């Protein structure tokens, strides 16, 4: 790349809107994600995170606005978008009856890829599952299942991966296992859009963080940039830097509990 060359965003979202009846879930969402980075989309339940992911993955049409993935428009070029992405939801989509290796081989065959066995073995190694590859997935721990699920999402080497609350329901130790897997994705050049309610997760993983509140991005930046939004720390005995939780609660916490329309709303459209 020559000096002055601008790299196009892997994900570009502009003025995205979506309503379910009279409930406006997205009210003009804008953000961009650089290639090979981890972008964390934070928000309370009902903020619209999953709706954003469903639109970007072509599972749902927006009411207004535009979005592109890897240069392809999600509305007019859905087939190209699907070839460029993989989506891992909140619950592992693995077959308990099959072994870990058989799950990976099956997906590779369904995608008509050559050498599915070699693909499976490579992914088992990348996600520290080689020793468990011959065991049925029903015997796996929660963290192993999530790592296998993420490995399955990488078959075919999609340049963009959506992880929608990937550590929901996992204990702290298992969450760290998944974090390591996500970091490996980005280190290998994959662009990751991560939605999460866990502020420490975004703080640990994300290159860029956006807070979605009441259907809008209210702030976006690196962790250091977001820390600058709060007043300087007062030094008494120990200087304490603001955490991402401090920032989040200062920006949206004051009225998030009182907004029943959003806290009680299901993002699929059922209040």
Task: Give me the pLDDT at residue 235, please.
Answer: 57
Task: Give me the pLDDT at residue 191, please.
Answer: 95
Query: The domain 11-256: what is its CATH number?
Result: 3.40.50.300
State the 10-residue block means of pLDDT for the chain, 271 residues long. 68 96 94 95 88 94 96 95 85 83 93 92 89 94 85 87 83 79 87 89 93 93 87 64 80 58 46 44
Reduced 3-state DSSP string for the chain: CCCCCCCCCCEEEEEEEEEECCEEEEEEEEEEECCCCEEEEECCCCCCHHHHHHHHCCCCCCCEEEEEECCEECCCCHHHHHHHEEEECCCCCCCCCCEHHHHHHHHHHHCCCCCHHHHHHHHHHHCCCCCCCCCEHHHCCHHHHHHHHHHHHCCCCCCEEEEECCCCCCCHHHHHHHHHHHHHHHHCCCEEEEEECCHHHHHHHCCEEEEEECCEEEEEECHHHHHCCCCCCCCCCCCCCCCHHHHHHHHHHHHHCCCHHHHCCCCCCCC
Q: Where are the domains of the chain?
A: 11-256
Task: Give me the pLDDT at residue 270, please.
Answer: 45
pTM over 0.85: no
Task: Give me the pLDDT at residue 261, please.
Answer: 43
Task: Give me the pLDDT at residue 264, please.
Answer: 45
- Per the CB < 8 A criterion, the answer to whether 267 and 250 are in contact is no
- Per the CB < 8 A criterion, the answer to whether 7 and 189 are in contact is no
Task: Give me the pLDDT at residue 247, please.
Answer: 83
β-pair partners for 29 = 16
């Amino acid at each position: 790349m020559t000096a002055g060359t601008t790299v196009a965003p892997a994900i570009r979202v502009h003025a995205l809107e979506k309503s379910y009846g009279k409930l406006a879930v997205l009210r003009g969402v804008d953000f961009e994600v650089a290639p090979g980075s981890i972008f964390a989309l934070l928000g309370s339940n009902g903020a619209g995170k999953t709706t954003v992911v469903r639109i970007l993955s072509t599972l749902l049409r927006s009411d207004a606005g535009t979005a592109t993935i890897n240069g392809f428009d999600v509305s007019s070029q859905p087939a190209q978008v699907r070839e460029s992405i993989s989506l891992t939801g909140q619950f592992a989509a693995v077959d308990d009856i099959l072994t870990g290796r058989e799950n990976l081989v099956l997906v590779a065959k369904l995608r008509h890829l050559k050498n599915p066995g070699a693909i499976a073995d490579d992914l088992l190694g990348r996600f520290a599952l080689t020793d468990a590859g011959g065991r049925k997935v029903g015997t796996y721990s929660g963290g192993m299942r999530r790592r296998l699920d993420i490995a399955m999402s990488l078959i075919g080497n999609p340049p963009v991966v959506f992880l929608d609350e990937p550590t929901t329901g996992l204990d702290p130790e298992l969450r760290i296992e998944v974090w390591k897997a996500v970091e490996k994705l980005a280190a290998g050049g994959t662009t990751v859009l991560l939605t999460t309610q866990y502020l420490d997760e975004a703080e640990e993983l994300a290159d860029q963080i956006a807070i979605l509140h009441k259907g809008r991005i209210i702030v976006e930046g690196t962790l250091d940039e977001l820390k600058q939004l709060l007043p300087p720390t007062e030094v008494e005995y120990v200087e304490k830097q603001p955490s991402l939780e401090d920032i989040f609660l200062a920006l949206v916490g004051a009225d998030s509990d009182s907004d029943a329309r959003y806290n009680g709303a299901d993002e699929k459209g059922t209040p």
